Each structure stands twice: as structure tokens, then as C-alpha cells.
Amino acid sequence: MTDVPALTFNGDLPGDDAEVLRLRECSTEPIRTIGAIQSHGILFAIDEVTGVVVAASANAESWLGRDLREAGSEMVTWSIGHGVAVDPVRAEFEGTLYDVIAHRGTSPLLLELEPVVPELEYVRTGVVGAIQRLAGISDPDELRREAAREIKRITGYDRVMCYHFHDDAHGQVVADEREPDMEPYFGLHFPASDIPVQARSLYIEKRSRVIADTEDAGTPIHTLLPEESPLDLGLTELRAVSPHHLQFMRNMGQASTVSFGIVMNDQLVGMFTCAHRTPRRIPVLLRRALEVLASQVASQLASAEQIRKLRRQLESRERRIALTAPLYGRADAGTVLMSGERTVLDVVPADGAVLRLGDAVETVGVVPPPERLFAVVDELGPGRFRWEALPIERPELAVEIPGVTGLLVVPLGSDGDRLVFVRSEVARTVEWLGDQRPENRDGPLSPRRSFSAWQESVMGRSLPWGDHAQDAYDLGEDIRSAMAARTQAELAELALRDALTGLHNRRYLDDRLDGLLSGTEKAVALVFLDLDDFKIVNDTHGHEMGDAVLAAIGRRLSGVARTTDVVVRLGGDEFVIVCVDAGPAEAAAVASRALAAITEPIVLRDVEIRVHASAGVVAAERGATASELLDAADAAMYRAKRGGGGRVSA
């Protein structure tokens, strides 16, 4: 499934200062209270209590101050009391047939009358069939394209485009169904000021907008209302058009348009715009039906986007798990993340990455000198940081790390651990709907004169991080979790280890024996070892040397034990070897090797120390407990000592 590629400019558009000025100017334009309607219809504002007309378009000015219910048609009167904007009433008024639209809930009540368009009746348009045909399309690109094609067939307009609004509010033509002799606009970008924010916000409240004739200067509204209470026309069908936008349309060769908002989660993400080279309008019921079609498209796009997000989240999660799983073991974190079969660059595509964990720094790919990079990163302080145009957005930082245009900083803890991704500059060519430079405008605030495709080279930017930024943050969380779990596991392991020798301790032995004796069919035997006259070593050489001897003996015992055996320091100078899947003979062989290893001279600080030991061997009988087995092995060891020591006893 493909979708509109991510492309953001963060305000760095051609003629950036002029674009900001246009956006500011557009934001102050009173489009909701413009004080006029398009001339093909009639508008009344009625005091709902008295029925008196308190405002009216100039073509119905004679009704100002009169009770519309007294002399209006029966159907018009009925619509005042019962009609709603989504369900116009067909009525005759002063000899002309109108679609009457009553906006319930406004104060005063707004009543619009649109002359009927007899040659384009709603019942013959086939909107329901179009919705059914579109319902089975899951690919967003195909859906937009086919929807534009259906709308063009239904409405008869010369051109139907679908716009997509990017995160930074600039737009792009993502579908363009047109007559063969018309210039193509597909794929072209346009600045946010073409459809400013207050115009877009109206599509959240009202999903369609008609402009019937760009040569229509509009019909003013006369009012009895106080000057400080201008009439809000935001929800009306007939609201007039700003002169700036009319000139914009004429420059594009458009004599009329109708647009339908694509709204997802209360956000305008795009729209369908129908354009015609001569004045044209379509009935309100058809517009309502096409609003439903646009809503259906929005729902399908939202579903497709949700599926896309879930799919890529799953794929990203699988890549992160594959990368971080070894961190839960004893593998070196830097090696796992930066130089293993998979690296962090398999999760977040970048030119390179630098990892700092404690005093260790690891790199992968092409990166600046880590000390220079971290000098910049540390200056930023803790937290996440993300740039796609560092030389433009933070030139004072970019000069310290030449060649880095995209920077993504992921904190891994509160002690300065960081994972930093870098990207270099990528030159791109963007095609705009019309030359964006001042030469194509009469003035900074004027619309473009020409809308032919114009190419611009975008420099000083890396590829956008997009969804990969969240992948990086999620990877950071995974690394933190793995390292925390690893620390906890290490602490738990330490609780079961003897600090001096590194062997397992008495606590571990008890748990291990209980498990072996109660949950396995394998034979278990114990070798109990005690050093003979070890007190002499401590008295002669000191306890520090004695501890070193015990540590050396622990290493020797681990060396002679089988891979399935468990070597334990029980305490003091006592050791136990748990022989798994072994009978008395195998355990006795292990004990003999252990005694031989212990008696080998131990050289510490040029001092040769000789130690001997006694061993008791016992095999577990069915039903024996851990304490019984240990007592029996201990007793066997003492028999060996009483026999002269330095031997094995069963």
C-alpha cells in the first residue's frame, strides 16, 4: 500500500517572509462576517420569536422589518419552523422555485433560498453507486484517484482535484481528473496561504463550499442588527467570496468551483475541489450526497492509515526485539547495538549513529568525531531533540559538526547516556503549483499570476525523520528496559553468588537441591569438601592470603567439575559439588579430581602454599530431602578426615 510521501518544510518555503506575511494577512480576513452573499440566491435573517426579517440580501431588501410568515409561501413558512440545513425544502417564492435551507440553532435564524437547477437533478446522479464502488478500495492513492473520477462524472466539472495537507500545512495535488486540453497539476505542491487556516477550519463545521461565478462581486446584506453584531455566515451555502480568492481563481482559469472537505479525527486532511471554466453550480441535495461520499473516503483513508500504522508498528517492534533481545543476557551492549549482525541502523535508517553508555562510546556508519558530537549534544541538555535542517534551524550547532544536517537525539537515562542518529544533506527537487517567487505576483499579498508547474531545489535538509523518530524513541525505551532488567538480574544473581570466589552460595544450593530432588528423575550425588587444617594458612600468611587461596581453589574446582555439575562454596573452607545425572562412581571420580587439583601448589606473591582436603561422597536416595543429603555428605567427609584426611570417603 502506498500513500502520500512525507514532505515538510517547517516554514522554509520559497519567499518565506512573504509567505508568512500572506498567512498573517489571510488570518485577519473576516470571511465569516463578510457581509455579502453570492448573487444567485437570497438570504434572510429572521428573529425566530417574532418572525421579523432583521437582515436580508439586497435582492430581498424589501422584506426587512416584515414578518416573513405573513406573506411568504406556505412551504417557506413551513421550513422556518421545521426545516434543517441538511434537508432543504423545495418551495416557490415570488414566482421562482427554490431549495430553501433553514439553519436551525442560529440566532437570528438564517434562511437561504437557492434557485433550483433543473438540468441537474439529484436523483439522476448515481452517488450511491459511486460510494458502493469506492467502498472496496483500500489503497489510499487509488481511492483518491477513483473518488475524483467519480465526482467528475457526477458533477460534470472540467477538473476534479484531491488535495492532501502535509503536517506543516502546505498542500499537494494527489489526484487530478481533468479534461484532456487542461494543464496537469498532479503531484504539485502549494503553500498554506492558498487555503488559509480560517478557511480550512470552516470545513470542519461545514463540509462543502460553492463558488458559482468568479465574476460575481456578490450581493450585500442589509441589516437592522447592531453594528457590533455582524451576521456570522460561516455555515451558509451562499457566503460571498473574498476578492483576493476570486482573483486567485480567475488567475487559475476557474470560473466556478465546489469543494468537499476530507475530515479525519476533526482535522481537515484534504479536500476534493471541482473546478469549471464557466459559471456552474449544483443542487444542494447533490452537494449533501457528495459530502457523504467525501466522508466515506475519509473513513476509508482513516482505516487505511490505521492499518498502515499498525503494520509498521509491528514491523518496527519486531526489528527492535531482534536487536535488543541479547541485551537481557551478558552480551556487551555496545557490541550488540552497534556492531552485531543487526544494528540500530536497521531500526532507524541514518548515515550513522553514536552510542554512549557510561564511559564507553561506540559508533556505526559515518559519523562526526564523537567528542565533537557529544559536545553539541551535551550543550542541548537532557531530553529528546530532532532536526532535519540543522544548518538552517540551529546554525551555531551545525558549524561544530560539519556535514550533519539531520540530528536525532535519544536519551537513555538521566546520567548522560545517549543514542544519537545523524543524517547528511539530501538535495531534492519540489514541483510547485506556480512559480512561488515575487516575480509571479503583482505584490507580496497578491495571488500568483501563473500556475504552471515550477521546480525548486530544496537544499540544507536531510531526509525527514517522520515515523522513524518514534522508532528511535521506542528503541530508547527498549534499551532502557533491557538494561534495567539486566541490572536486576545481575543483582539477583549476586544474591546467589559467593562474593569471594564467584561460586554459587548456600542459598542457591538449597534452592537447587530442592528442585533436583523433587522435580527430576535424574540421579543426584553430592561431593562435600573441607580443607584440612586451613587455619594454619590464615595464621601463617594472614587472612588476605587465605582469601586468595580460597578464590584459587574455587577456580580449580570449577575447572574439574563436569559441565552439568554445580560448584558451591558452602561457607568458610567448605565446598560442595552437586553432580547431576551421576551415581556414586561418577561422583567419586569428580571428588578425586577435585582433591588432586586442590593439592597442586598455589603460588601467591612468590609464596608457595600447599593445601589438602577431605571429601565425602553420597548419592541421593528416593525421597531424600536436601538437608538429609547434605548431612549424609558432611558425615562422609568427616569419616575421610578421621581416616587421616586427604582422601575420599563414601
Residues 6+ apart with CB under 8 A from 647: 595, 614, 615, 640
pLDDT tens digit sequence for 7-16: 555 444 455 6
Nearest CA-CA partner of 174 in 96, 272, 246: 272
What one-letter code names the amino acid at 139? Answer: D
Give one DSSP letter per residue of 307-323, joined into a string.
Answer: HHHHHHHHHHHHHHHHH
- pLDDT, residue 520, reads 62
Nearest CA-CA partner of 211 in 300, 275, 151: 275
What one-letter code names the amino acid at 548? Answer: A
H or E stretch covering 636: helix 626-642
pLDDT tens digit sequence for 197-237: 889 999 999 999 999 999 999 999 999 999 888 999 999 99
CA distance 255 to 252: 9
CB 561 within 8 A of CB 617: no
Segments of the chain scoring below 70 in pLDDT:
1-20, 22-23, 25-28, 71-76, 79-86, 120-125, 493, 519-520
CA distances from 10 to 3, 217, 240, 573, 616 (A): 21, 36, 32, 71, 78
Q: Which residues of 271-286 are buried (b: 16+ CB within 10 A; e: fewer)?
A: bbbbbbeeebbbbbbb
- pLDDT, residue 609, reads 92
What one-letter code names the amino acid at 137? Answer: I
Residues 6+ apart with CB under 8 A from 413: 480
Q: Fill in the DSSP letter of residue 405.
A: -
Nearest-10 Cα torsion for 294, 299, 305, 310: 180
Give one DSSP letter per residue of 422-473, joined into a string.
Answer: EE----EEEEEES--SGGGBSSTTSPBS--SEEEEEE-S-----THHHHHHH
Nearest-10 Cα torsion for 449, 453, 459, 465: 110
Nearest CA-CA partner of 352 in 440, 427, 419, 267: 419
Residue written as grid cell 421545521: 82
CB 347 within 8 A of CB 322: no
Annotation says 573 is catalytic? yes
Residues 6+ apart with CB under 8 A from 637: 528, 529, 530, 614, 615, 616, 649
- Given 573, 606, 631, 634, the catalytic residue: 573
- pLDDT, residue 64, reads 92
Which residue spans within 68-119 are E strands per DSSP?
89-93, 96-103, 109-115
Number of H helices, E strands in the chain: 18, 27
